Chains A and B, each alone.
Chain A
Amino acid sequence: MNRVELAELAETVTAQQQSCRLRLLVCCGTPCVAAGAEAVVAALREKLAALGNPADLELVGTGCQGPCSRGPLLTVLRPGQPEQVWQKTTPELAVSILEAELQQAPVPDENLLPADWPFFTRQTRLVLANSGRIDPENLEQYIACGGYESLAQVLHDMTPDQACDSVVQSGLRGRGGGGYPTGLKWQLVRKGSGSRKFIVANGDEGDPGAYMDRSLMESDPHRILEGIAIAGYAIGAEQGYIYVRGEYPVAAQRLRKAIKDAERAGLLGSRVLDSSFSFRIDIRIGAGAFVCGEETALLASIMGRRGQPRIRPPYPAEAGLWGCPTLINNVETFGNIPSIFSIGPQAFNAIGNGKSRGTKVFALCGEVVNNGLIEVPMGIPLREIVFEIGGGLANGAAFKAAQTGGPSGGCIPAEKLDTPVDYENLQALGSIMGSGGLIVMGEQSCMVDVARFFMEFCLDESCGKCVPCRTGTVEIYRLLSRICNGSASQRDLQTLEQLCQMVKDTSLCGLGAAAPNPVLSTLRWFRAEYEAHVSQRRCPAGVCTMDQLPLHLLGEQLLQRIAALRCDGEGY
């Protein structure tokens, strides 16, 4: 396929889609499938078959449409009319909607989501532009949405240096959590010396409550391939790897199919789009270690070694896979690349706040009314995410904290709800942007318990190479457990703070260095809660059961018992 054929194909498919009287998009993302989307698709397919599969009716099983707690979702598109979205669709409801549409009768408005629902209207969808709009396994539908047009543009109209410069101008920063400027990284790898260069897309998402990367890989795999191919051209690599977490079989399978389709169509492989650029992408599957999301551990894992971080420098940009310069970006970062070239770096840079440009995908979950996958411009106030997009807390509970960044992040208290969500502001609050998990908690959550949960995660996922992370996390967890069960003393609280600071300062890699963050941030904003646990043996949220005694009370109790024995002479 060359550039002209690509444009022609896009036109043909678009024209065919526009000629459809009705397009039914059923969300087949994992949460919707769990809620019964497959039955809805089957019922609609049966109905269409009964009608003789007319060419002007199209049924599409799409990737994630967003409001995951409302599934199965059904979006209806008619030419020239606003789209309508139904939540919690049943097979019967879906069929009755189809029948009403065919008979030009008023469609049932049961479960119909309002057109001005803030969950949709407040979002800015760049990375997720095609998620929920196309069949992820269909290359043509991606091309119809302008897919691979950015790659064609870069290959034919730009030099690699210009491509790097465009990414620098866009102001894009790493979406995996670190926030390192992507363009600078590309330039570093481009300048790196080596016989070969490699690209790695990090899809080893592992934070509890985060599923942005999975959704993106499952809903729009070609977007990631396109982003990686553009990066390959820009830095001068011929081989890319996508490292997919082992727990994401659907994502891996869709990416594999996407790679095969793209290679067949001449969009990957040798002589991409009839240019002199050749590029291959392979999938590597992780084996279930969280630490393999750390870049040096990830590289070790790709090379078939034990997934353990090593000391940097040298950074992967100088010596990565097999000692060659290697570019590592998160899959969401690569998902941003096609948008940068399709809307232009300046337009991309116009979105955002301060040094954080563009949009960020969040997995909004916890005690919030509308759970789901959202994409918002950087700098949006946290309040807007929680109360407008998220629709506030479930059951009218009061907001207590929002946890961002998973086990490496921290909790943001209610008084900081108006903070703009971007890299710098979150860091100033002792949290991090992270990969995009956003867990909303109400008054029923005990912050000590939350910190303990994340510490348990970290101690389990520590690789064991350096002492502070291997043993420090275990000791922090034990101290937190003691605070939760009521047997901690003031001294334990002191030790906890010292130990957290030490682990943060001395750990080898990012996992260990960030592991104390949930504790330190809750200590900073919710210290009174820790104090109540320790000095009053009381859990303000009512979560912890204080069934153990601290040592000094245990001693006192023992003395009292002995004294009582002596006075009244009773036996045991």
Chain B
Amino acid sequence: MPAITLTINNDLISARQGQTLLEVAREHGIEIPTLCHLDGLEAMGGCRLCLVELQGAPRPVPSCVTKAAEGMVVTTHSDKLVEYRKMLVELLLAERTHTCSICVQNNNCELQTLAAKLGIDHVRFDYLHQQLPMDASRERFALDHNRCVLCLRCVRVCDAVEGAHTWDVRGRGSTSRIVADLDRPWGTSTSCTDCGKCVQLCPTGALFKKGATVGEMKKERSFLNRILERRRLAAQGGTP
């Protein structure tokens, strides 16, 4: 593979032909935030967080799909880009209802981490507070649309890796929703194999294993009385 040389943030960097800018940057320890991107899945370029400035290009380009080329001059963290990334994450936070304190993914959430790393301490836009439904009809997993960021990792992994293509998108614009099969409750889906790949790849708490939510954390204490009652009966000589 021929080697090429390009400039990233004023440093000369060598890369292999065919690598994306994101791969090159990560190899050299430059951290570019991403959300929809995941190594191994087909690039989508939807979250726009990995945008970098390329000399000669009229607009920032997504580094996850832009191939590195000889002589490119790239800036990954200009003031403008950092501000844009902040605004993009703020838009995501404002779009649906992301309440970390009651989320199953709290402290393990990619959106939360991104926001923290970018230093977002408030959201300048209106919270849209869409009241979206939850789909808990599947036996082991559940889907909460309120936490979905439409990164479509689930759609891509289900199609390309599991080969089931259970997930797809319904509607358009801000009314887009992830749907199972042809917009049926996930529990009635016949194509889903319960493999859980989508749940593992979901960056937020939108897709999660059942049993992890705050609401499910009720303790079962009635056993104590039951056991003691039976012992009492046994001590009295009766059959338990």
Contact = CB atoms under 8 A, between A and B. Distances in A.
A505 interface: yes
Contact of A468 (B48, B171, B174): B48
Size range of the chain B interface in the assembly: 20 to 34
A473 B47 CA distance: 15
A513 B59 contact: yes
B46 A467 contact: yes
Contacts of B185: none
B60 interface: yes
30 contacts: A459-B173, A460-B173, A463-B172, A464-B172, A464-B175, A464-B176, A467-B47, A467-B92, A470-B95, A470-B173, A470-B176, A471-B91, A471-B92, A471-B94, A471-B128, A472-B91, A474-B95, A474-B128, A474-B174, A475-B94, A495-B124, A498-B87, A499-B87, A499-B125, A502-B88, A505-B59, A506-B48, A507-B48, A508-B46, A508-B48
Nearest to B151: A467
Contact of A464 (B44, B62, B125, B169): B169
A496 to B, nearest CB: 11
A475 B126 contact: yes
B54 interface: no
B91 A475 contact: yes
Interface string A441-484: 00000000000000000011111111111111111001000000
Given A508-B45, A513-B59, A461 B88 contact: no
A471 B48 CA distance: 12
Interface in B141-195: 150, 168-169, 171-176
A455 to B, nearest CB: 12
B172 A462 contact: yes
A306 interface: yes
Contacts of B62: 311, 508
A291 B59 contact: no
Contacts of A472: 91
A470 B95 CA distance: 9
Which of B47, B91, B95, B173: most chain A Cβ within 10 A? B173
Contact of B46 (A306, A459, A465, A475): A465
A306 B48 contact: no
Contacts of B43: 311
A460 B62 CA distance: 25
B76 to A, nearest CB: 15
Contact of B171 (A464, A467, A508, A513): A464
Interface of A is mostly: helix
Contacts of A471: 91-92, 94-95, 128, 174
A464 B60 contact: no
Nearest to B62: A311
Given A464-B171, A467-B47, A513-B59, A311 B84 contact: no
Nearest to B64: A311
B174 A464 contact: yes
A470 B150 contact: yes
A363 interface: no
A565 to B, nearest CB: 31
Given A475-B126, A478-B126, A506-B84, A466 B48 contact: yes
Given A464-B176, A468-B88, A507-B48, 7 more contacts: A306-B168, A466-B45, A469-B173, A470-B95, A470-B150, A471-B92, A506-B60
A289 interface: yes
B51 interface: yes
B118 interface: no
A478 B128 CA distance: 10
Nearest to A506: B48
Nearest to A508: B45
- For the complex of A and B, the 7 pairs showing the least CB-CB separation, nearest first, are A464-B176, A462-B173, A471-B91, A311-B45, A471-B95, A475-B125, A506-B48
A430 to B, nearest CB: 15
Nearest to B58: A505
Nearest to A291: B172
B91 A468 contact: yes
B65 interface: yes
Contacts of A311: 43, 45, 62, 65
Contacts of B176: 463-464, 470
A220 B60 CA distance: 42
Interface string B8-48: 00000000000000000000000000000000000111111
Contacts of A495: 124-125
Given A289-B172, A462-B174, A464-B171, A502 B44 contact: no
Interface in A275-291: 289, 291
A463 B173 CA distance: 5
A513 B58 CA distance: 12
A436 B43 CA distance: 35
Which of A306, A460, A466, A471: most chain B Cβ within 10 A? A471
A467 B45 CA distance: 10
Contacts of B48: 466-468, 506-508
A217 B175 CA distance: 33
A467 B172 contact: no
Interface string A486-528: 0000000001001100100111100001000000000000000
Interface string B50-69: 01000000011010010000
Contacts of A474: 95, 128, 173-174
A308 to B, nearest CB: 8
Contact of B173 (A464, A475, A498, A508): A464
Contacts of B83: 498, 502
